[in-house]
């Protein structure tokens, strides 16, 4: 089978490896679609484990199961979580699934024609796809689940004003989900094409991020935002974000700058104005279940976010498109095409 070996963003090689054979409690799946996530291109985050097969937003078909597996059979259409919490430790019991201290197994990378799914992910991380969800659409389940979790943590509710900073794929999913809650949405980005698209899919106001966003925000809506969601790691955006949150509001770090980039927190202002600062990393089983329901019901539409579908051989081009961020929103790799 063919796999994509990532060394860094400019060094991605296609290699041939033997197709694995599942053990008694494992299963082999055929990857039909795998999305390139924004985190896949973040080298400070990925390089410590390189070289590796990346890809964790997958839609796949079961092709072979181990003799002990009874719940799945060849032909089943599935989405598999990148990792699963133990559900037993103190973090899990308190709902902090992404912080689970017992996560050991990870899904082998989806930028490959086949994946050998380990036992724990067969048991706890495999979800059957409803007939109404295509393989391409299934690549949105994990990122949408992360968005579901972030908005739950932020307590976003009907009637609030939400500022979405950064209109890449995650930012647009935040926009779509907040819109289902009848929120007023303001979107910012430096990319005018993305701003136009954000407006098209429901943003009430769009602001060029190169402008004075806090000033434009108050000029447009007469006040600051109840919730600010940062989907960009740009320090300039973070500097503006502090000034965009209203009293009693909430700022969510959905994306973060590299560990070598210091962020100054205006703690006195946050303290006197009772502003919450939250981080949101990954998702948990309830969030994945909710994301599947949203897609199955058509409450969240995602086909309009797909800009590129590429064969595995063109994955370097796919990474370049995501890094440049000018022409693409969602890039999907189809390992068995081309």
Strands across the sheet with 205-208, in order? 205-208, 184-189, 161-165, 225-230, 245-253, 276-279
CATH 3.10.300.10 fits 2-140+302-334, yes or no: no
Q: CA 9, 38, 82 angle in degrees (round to 5)? A: 100
The sign of the torsion formed by the CA atoms of 84, 145, 154, 193 equals: positive
Q: Please state, in angstroms and as integers, the Cα–Cα distance from residue 138 to each residue in 8, 214, 245, 249, following that order.
A: 26, 36, 33, 33
pLDDT in the model for residue 338: 81
Crossing angle for the helix pair 141-154 and 169-180, nearest 10 degrees? Answer: 60
**How far apart, in whole angstroms, are the C-alpha atoms of residue 267 and residue 128?**
45
pLDDT in the model for residue 103: 86
**How far apart, in whole angstroms, are the C-alpha atoms of residue 223 and residue 255?**
25
- Segment (H or E) for 178: helix 169-180
pLDDT in the model for residue 105: 87
The per-residue DSSP string of 279-307 comes to: E--S--HHHHHHHHHHHHTTSS--GGGEE
Contact call for residues 140 and 173 (beta carbons, < 8 A) = yes
Q: Please state, in angstroms and as integers, the Cα–Cα distance from residue 120 to each residue in 117, 283, 286, following that order.
A: 8, 17, 17
What digits encode the pLDDT tens for the residues 154-180? 999 999 999 999 999 999 999 999 999
pLDDT tens, the chain, 338 aa long? 999 999 999 999 999 999 999 999 999 999 999 999 999 999 999 999 999 999 999 999 999 999 999 999 999 999 999 999 999 999 999 999 999 989 888 999 999 999 999 999 999 999 999 999 999 999 999 999 999 999 999 999 999 999 999 999 999 999 999 999 999 999 999 999 999 999 999 999 999 999 999 999 999 999 999 999 999 999 999 999 999 999 999 999 999 999 999 999 999 999 999 999 999 999 999 999 999 999 999 999 999 999 999 999 999 999 999 999 999 999 999 999 98
pTM over 0.85: yes
* Residue 54 main-chain phi, psi, to 5 deg: -85, 180
User: For the CA atoms of the chain, what is the radius of gyration?
Assistant: 20
Contact call for residues 209 and 237 (beta carbons, < 8 A) = yes
What is the token pair recorded at 324? Answer: 């440049």
Contact call for residues 150 and 229 (beta carbons, < 8 A) = yes
| Cis peptide bond N-terminal to 51, omega within 30 | yes
pLDDT in the model for residue 277: 97
In the 8-state DSSP scheme, what is residue 109?
Answer: P
- Give, rounded to a whole angstrom, the gap between the first and last alpha carbons of the chain: 14
Q: CA 191, 197, 202 angle in degrees (round to 5)? A: 130
**Can you identify the CATH homologous superfamily of domain 152-279?**
NAD(P)-binding Rossmann-like Domain (3.40.50.720)
- By CB atoms closer than 10 A (0-12, 13-18, 19+), residue 159 is exposed
Residue span(s) of the chain under CATH 3.40.50.720 come to 152-279
Contact call for residues 229 and 154 (beta carbons, < 8 A) = yes
């Amino acid at each position: 089978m063919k796999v994509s070996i990532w060394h860094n963003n400019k060094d991605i090689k296609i290699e041939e490896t033997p197709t694995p054979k599942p053990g008694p409690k494992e299963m082999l799946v055929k990857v039909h679609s795998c999305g390139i996530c924004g985190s896949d291109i973040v080298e400070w985050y990925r390089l410590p484990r390189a070289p590796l097969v990346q890809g964790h937003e997958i839609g796949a078909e079961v092709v072979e199961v181990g003799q002990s597996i009874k719940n799945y059979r060849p032909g089943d259409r599935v989405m598999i979580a990148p990792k699963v919490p133990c559900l037993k430790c103190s973090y899990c019991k308190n709902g902090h699934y992404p912080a689970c201290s017992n996560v050991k197994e990870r899904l082998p990378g989806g930028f490959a024609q086949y994946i050998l799914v380990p036992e724990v992910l067969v048991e706890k991380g495999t979800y059957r796809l409803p007939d109404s969800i295509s393989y391409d659409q299934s690549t949105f389940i994990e990122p949408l689940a992360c968005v579901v979790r972030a908005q739950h943590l932020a307590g976003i509710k009907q009637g609030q004003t939400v500022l979405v900073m950064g209109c890449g794929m995650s930012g647009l999913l935040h926009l779509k989900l907040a819109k289902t809650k009848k929120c007023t949405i303001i979107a910012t980005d430096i990319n005018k094409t993305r701003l136009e698209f954000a407006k098209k899919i429901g943003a009430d106001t769009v602001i060029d991020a190169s402008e004075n966003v806090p000033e434009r925000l108050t000029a447009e809506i007469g006040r600051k935002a109840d919730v600010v969601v940062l989907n960009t790691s740009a320090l300039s955006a973070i500097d503006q974000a502090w000034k965009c949150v209203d009293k009693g509001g909430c700022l969510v770090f959905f994306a973060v700058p590299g560990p070598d980039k210091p962020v100054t927190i205006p703690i006195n202002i946050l303290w006197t104005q009772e502003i919450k600062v939250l981080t949101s990393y990954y998702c948990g089983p309830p969030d994945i279940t909710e994301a599947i329901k949203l897609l199955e019901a058509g409450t969240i539409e995602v086909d309009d976010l797909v800009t590129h579908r590429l064969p595995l051989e063109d994955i370097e081009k796919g990474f370049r498109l995501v890094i440049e961020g000018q022409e693409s929103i969602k890039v999907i790799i189809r390992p068995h095409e081309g």
